[in-house]
Every structure is written in structure tokens, then in C-alpha cells.
Amino acid sequence: MVIVIWLSGLTVILLTSKNVVVLKGRRKIGKNKKRYIVFRVVGGQGQLTSKALETSVRDAVKEFVGRMWLEISDPHVIFYSPSTMSGIISTNRLGYRAVLASLPLVKSVAGMEVLLVPLRTTGSLKKAKSLIRTG
């Protein structure tokens, strides 16, 4: 009896590992965790606001990859420091590449010619803020 249970257990493990049998509920979608992009603004003499930056970034993402990826990546400028001219964009693991690739397409913010330079991407807001503080 024990041998039969043992052998049937081994069979199930073997078949599922080789994808011969797919158990119900096996497919999982990974959690779309947050990613934070630390960026710096080059150019742009006047005072930029995080709202104006966010509008430009969202327009650039929509221009490059379209509405679907804009909704997936959902970029928001959650912090911008005019003194250091650096800020943080919040996005997620699925869409952060789309946001990074779209940043050069931001040619101007509120009528001022600027360049957004991504410095680092990180998974925690605390780390992103410390990166800005250390410069």
C-alpha cells in the first residue's frame, strides 16, 4: 500500500515537472512590483513642476509605445527637487523599460527645452530618495 502511494506520488511529480500534465491553478502571474526611476533634468532654466514633468513623460510614453503601455507602465513623477534638478518617477516592473526608453523623447517641459537623464532604477522609494540626497 505504501509502495503504491509512493509510486503514484513520484508519477505525479514526474509528469507535472515535464509539463505532461498541467494541474489546475498552476499558472501564476507575478506581482507587478513598483520600480522607481531616479532622473536628473539637464537644461531648463526656469522652475519646473512635477505636474508638468509628469505630463511630458506620459505624453512621451504614449508617443513611443502607445496607450496600452502607458496604462501598464503608469508613470508618475512622485518627487521633484528644483534645487538639485532631480526627481523620481514611479512605475512598475512590467513597464519601467518603456518609460526609460521614452525619456529621450521628452524634448521640452512647459515650453522649456530639457533633457531627462535616467540615473538609476531601484525597487524602494527609500533607496531612490537616498540616491538623490547623495547626488
Partner 1 sequence: MLVETCILDPRLVEVSRKLGFQRYLVETRKDLREEGLRRRVTLQGDSRSASPNNSIVFFRPLSRGQLVKALNDPGIHGISVDNDNFYLLRKNLLNLSKSKEKFIEIRLSNSSSNVIRRAIEWGYKGAKIVFSSCASRISELWAPLSLVNYITFHGAYMEDVISWVYTNPLELFQLVSDDP
Binding site for partner 1 (CB under 8 A): 40, 42-43, 65, 97-98, 100-101, 103-104, 106-108, 113-115, 117-119
How far is residue 73's CA from residue 65's CA, in Å, rounded to a whole number? 10
Q: What would the grid cell of residue 129 be?
A: 530618495
Q: In whole angstroms, how close is the CB of 93 to partner 1 at the nearest point?
A: 13
Nearer to partner 1, 25 or 135 (CB): 135
Least distance (Å) between residue 89 CB and partner 1: 12
| Closer by beta carbon to partner 1, 19 or else 83 | 83
Taking the CB of residue 61, how many other CB atoms lie within 10 A of it?
27
Q: C-beta of 115: minimal distance to partner 1 in Å? A: 5
54 vs 95 by CB, closer to partner 1: 95
What is the C-alpha separation between 77 and 39, in angstroms, rounded? 10
For 102-117, give one letter per residue: b (16+ CB within 10 A) or e: bbeebeebeeeebebe
**Cβ proximity to partner 1, 9 vs 66, nearer residue:** 66
